[in-house]
Amino acid sequence: MLAFIVRRLLSGVVLIAVISFLAFTLLYAAGGDIARRILGENATAETVAKKTAELGLNRPLLAQYGDWLSSAVTGNLGRSWFNGELVSVSVSGRLSVTLSIVVGATLVSAILSILLGVLAARRGGVIDAGVQFLSLVGFAVPGFLIALLLVLVFAVNLGWFKATGYTPLTTSFSGWVASVVLPIVALSIGAIATVAQQVRGSVIDATSRDYVRTLRARGLSENSVIYRHVLRNAGGPALAVLAVQFVGLLGGAVIVEQIFAIPGMGQLSVRATTQGDIPVVMGLVIAFAIIVVVVNLLIDLAQAALNPKVRLS
Amino acid sequence: MFRWKATAALAVAAALVLTGCSGGGSGSEGSGSADRLTLTAIASPTSYDIGAGAEYGNRSPFFQAVFDTLLQKDSKGEIQPWLATAWEYNDDKTVLTLTLKDGVTFTDGTPLDASAVVASLERFRDGTSPQAATLAGKEFAAVDATTVTITQTAPDPSLVNLLSIAPGLIEAPSSFGNADVATNPIGSGPYILDTASSVTGTTYNYTANPDYWNKDAVKYQNLTINVLEDPTATLNAIRAGEANGAKIADNNTISEVEGAGWTIESNELDFQGLLLLDRAGTMAPQLADVKVRQAINMAFDREALLQSLQTGYGTVTEQVFPKTSVAYDESLDSTYPYDPAAAKKLLADAGYPNGFTLNMMSTPAFQQTFDLVAQQLSDIGITVNYTDPGTGNFITDMLAPKYPATWMALEQNPDWQLINFMIAPDATFNPFKYEDPKVDALISTIQTGSQAESDTAVKELNTYLVDQAWFAPFFRVQGTFATDANTNLEFWPTNAYPSIFDFSPKN
């Protein structure tokens, strides 16, 4: 077990190193004149040249990556080229914001999709058709459109929630709730659609198995059969889908954070990438990679706990 | 089962909190009070260190909040005393002497005296801020505690104006060595940045400086500036009442902003049009002929362009000097009426009866503009061959220079800055270093002549440039700022963002 975790973490480190190099070189390929972008049209050629030298952008690509890597392994990710903030502060400050939304959306979608999936599988008929139809709609309507609608109705017209910005949990609980509910709803809908289908399929599949017939024959109540035994078996695939959804939600957060002007990692990614703010993009790439590695590891562990037949080897 | 109950309880609790919050929210808005002013901006400061990022334009409020400038522009655009109570040139205009206000301190308690001002000006001059070059070659000296001299080799008619914008910002020299100098500014300004509650790049919270020397000018106890890069987010913030003032980047949303009960304030600072850069014809020989440049000017239906590209918000123009300049002459704006037939004849006279091909740059963000430009030029026989230089290379390639002509949006500054920005032989936006003896002579008179001589020369220069068709401007774009029903604003005529001193609560 421990060996498994250590091996997974090590391969994660290698993955992060490869990704960081790819990100660095790709950013350079797409980069353009970064010093000019920082300074704008008012700067003279001399000022631009001075800035280029100051940032070390006139040195070979590999030398620049080497410098970045050697300071990154000591924990120093540098400062943003566009606002001077420490990258570690930028990224960690926005991590809690994005996690609030993405973890919230994952929980909401996990709970609702399991409920809807089981409901559809057990009741069948009109209810099943209804749930399937709703899933289809949730799957087909893009998240950003839902987000825009939610803002108009619940923030602008009704004034229940905030249309823009984010209030940290430490500042005000009600303010935090007002700023995260709409983004969570916007993000969850697509995920619920996908996972509910998965749960429905797994439950239907499991209920036709021999062990379920045996359990029923032994006189167990239907609720007990479904929630104690069937879901345990159907949970594995659903968890795997949820893990993929979680990573997908990180991507979805990019658009939702733009619409709600929420200072999370998504918004930071958009700004840093379009500006060519390499230190920040690198910090984000590493943070995202760590999250993905850790989430996958946790899902593997959770699946093992759920079903002893899944061995960690 | 227990877990479901807990979840239900949590949901009920959340609902209760929400109802409480929406009630409290509307009560505590209080946007009309003098407690807090909330603004939205479209850009955040690149660095609060004036040696690395001092800027005006859309970034001006961030710097104005925490730093003082030596001089100040009032809401009419006139220069007024500020940290410097008086200023005077010597006879040949090479030495400017400034008298400083006594007893001002920076927010870290260090004194703001002549030596601090000199250190700050030097930091700006020697740094990499966008306008750093405007102070190049100038020497600063502290004569006594409250007197500073600025010595230059030749007169600089823009210097006094510069001291009221980015180059005139004074930063505490005691903060130069701070590791967080880029994000934690130390100045003597009306507000102090609350770094704990601010999110760099997104939300900036300021509290009034308790020791400010000019308390009467500060009308709000707190200031918040939210950076909203997306026009839809700006519109949502306006509709939801989450701001008192907002920079409107997309003029197509003006009717919706007005629909929300907000007031529109506007000015015109930028012009859009073609820069006919290769006037000597080194890259595109056709452009050396003034008839060709004039024909290009006549190819454009400016009213139609303004209507389709800016929903009519702006004013058509054929000159690069702004309305606020003495050089501005309304009659010049009808020098080249839209007339494709006459333009074709001019091209034929110049020896191009079948037109020619012109290489220019395009960029996806302004695709509609590029399509219309190409279409109107093709109507007179000029085929445009566009190249997309790639993200982040548009200005670099323009100034390289890699193209003989280009579409561009440029800001219109006070005369001397404008001349050094796009007309003088070494101006940034004269990348082919094109020179004309008549232009050089006029520039020299503007620099060294008396006020009357300079005014006459700059008028003559403007007329000559239009006549020679150095540019093909289309229109000046309306710069728009909106305020809610509780806020008064007098919008600067000369900056993209209002002065924070020009906001006041109504009633």
| For chain B, domain boundaries | 36-262+484-505, 268-478
Q: Which of B175, B46, B124 is nearest to A80 (CA)?
A: B46
CATH no., domain B268-478: 3.10.105.10
Least confident span in A169-183, A193-207, B308-322: A193-207
Contacts with B, A 129-158, CB within 8 Å: 148, 151-152, 155-156
B40 sits in which H/E element: strand B36-41
Q: Name the token pair of A20.
A: 């960081």
Domains annotated for chain A, with CATH where assigned, are 31-76 (no CATH), 88-310 (1.10.3720.10)
More confident position, B87 or A212: B87
Contacts with B, A 1-20, CB within 8 Å: none
Pairing of strands B314-316, B503-505: unpaired
Predicted local distance difference test score (pLDDT) of residue A254: 85
A285 touches chain B (CB under 8 A): no
Q: Which residue of A has its CA nearest to B166?
A: A42
B131 vs chain A: nearest CA distance in angstroms?
A: 6
Overall fold of domain B36-262+484-505: D-Maltodextrin-Binding Protein; domain 2 (3.40.190)
Q: Which of A58, A165, A80, A92 is nearest to B48 (CA)?
A: A80
Q: How far is CA A293 from CA A68, A250, A279, in A?
A: 22, 13, 21
More confident position, A11 or B4: A11
Q: Which residue of B has its CA nearest to A164?
A: B237
Residues of chain B contacting A44 with CB distance shorter than 8 Å: 133, 428
- Determine, for residues A83 and B391 on separate chains, whether the beta-carbon distance falls below 8 Å: no
Tell me if B430 sits within 8 A of B385, measured CB to CB.
no
Predicted local distance difference test score (pLDDT) of residue A31: 67
Residues of chain B contacting A98 with CB distance shorter than 8 Å: none
Residues of chain B contacting A151 with CB distance shorter than 8 Å: 236
Mean pLDDT of the region B361-366: 90
Q: Which residue of A has its CA nearest to B234?
A: A164
Go through chain A and tell me how many residues it has: 313
Mean pLDDT of the region B186-208: 95
The model's pLDDT over B456-488, given as tens digits with 9 standing for 90+, comes to: 999 999 999 999 999 999 999 999 999 999 999
B354 vs chain A: nearest CA distance in angstroms?
A: 36
Which residues lie closer than 8 Å to B388 by C-beta, 6 or more apart? B361, B362, B363, B364
Q: Is the pLDDT of residue B6 over 50?
A: no
A305 touches chain B (CB under 8 A): no
Q: Which residue of B has its CA nearest to A160?
A: B22
User: Of B132, B201, B242, which is closest to A83 when you measure between CB atoms?
Assistant: B201
Q: Is the pLDDT of residue B25 over 60?
A: no
The model's pLDDT over B366-416, given as tens digits with 9 standing for 90+, comes to: 999 999 999 999 999 999 999 998 877 899 899 999 999 999 999 888 899
Q: Which of B426, B398, B425 is nearest to B133 (CA)?
A: B426
A83 touches chain B (CB under 8 A): yes
Predicted local distance difference test score (pLDDT) of residue A161: 92
Q: Is the pLDDT of residue A2 over 60?
A: yes
Q: Which of B323, B397, B413, B401 is nearest to B131 (CA)?
A: B413
Pairing of strands B382-387, B356-361: parallel
User: Of A83, A163, A268, which is closest to B46 when you measure between CB atoms?
Assistant: A83
The model's pLDDT over B337-354, given as tens digits with 9 standing for 90+, comes to: 999 999 999 999 999 999
List the single best residue of B395, B398, B402, B421 to mutate versus A (max A Cβ within 10 A).
Answer: B395
Least confident span in A89-93, A95-99, A224-228, B113-117: A224-228
Mean pLDDT of the region B490-507: 91
Residues of chain B contacting A173 with CB distance shorter than 8 Å: 17
- Determine, for residues B395 and A263 on separate chains, whether the beta-carbon distance falls below 8 Å: no
Q: Is the pLDDT of residue B28 over 80?
A: no
Contacts with B, A 230-259, CB within 8 Å: 258-259
Predicted local distance difference test score (pLDDT) of residue A310: 64
User: Of B44, B181, B410, which is closest to A83 when you measure between CB atoms?
Assistant: B44
Among A193-202, A230-239, B76-85, which range has the highest average pLDDT? B76-85
A162 touches chain B (CB under 8 A): yes
Q: Is the pLDDT of residue B31 over 70?
A: no
Least confident span in A114-128, A278-292, B311-325: A114-128
A163 touches chain B (CB under 8 A): yes
Mean pLDDT of the region B139-153: 96
